[in-house]
Amino acid sequence: MVATGVTAGTTAAAVVGGSAATIMSATAGTTGAALAATAGATGTAGGAAIASGMATIGGAVGGGMATGAILAAAAPAAAVTVLAVGICKLFDW
C-alpha cells in the first residue's frame, strides 16, 4: 500500500497541471504507460495510444489524461498489494 501511494504521489507531482507533452514525458517507459496504451483507441500507436488510454482511464472516474496517468501508474503496485494480501489470507499469515 505504501508503494502504491508513493507511485501515485510521484506521478501526480509530475503531471498535475501539466500539458499533454509534460504528462507523456513524465510517464514515458513506465508500466503505467504500457497499461494506458492497452486501453488506448483502436488503430492508434505509440504516443497516441498512450494519450488516448490515459484519457480513457481518467474519464472513467470523471477526470482527464492527468488523472488517467496517476491511476495507470498506481495500478501495478495496487495489483501486487492485493495479490500479496490475498496470498497471506489464503495461508493465514
Distance CA 49, CA 12 (A): 20
Check residue 21 and give its pLDDT: 65
Number of helical H runs and strand E runs in the chain: 5, 0
Q: What pLDDT score does 6 carry?
A: 60
Tally of residues, the chain = 93
User: pTM of the prediction?
Assistant: 0.57
Q: What is the pLDDT of residue 72?
A: 80
Closest Cα to residue 64, out of 38, 36, 43? 36
Would you state the pLDDT for residue 44? 67
**Residue tagged 507531482 (cell numbers):** 13
pLDDT of residue 9: 63
Mean pLDDT, 10 residues at a time, over the chain (93 residues)?
56 64 65 71 70 83 82 80 89 77
Contact 72, 32 (CB under 8 A): yes
- Fill in the amino acid letter for 26: A
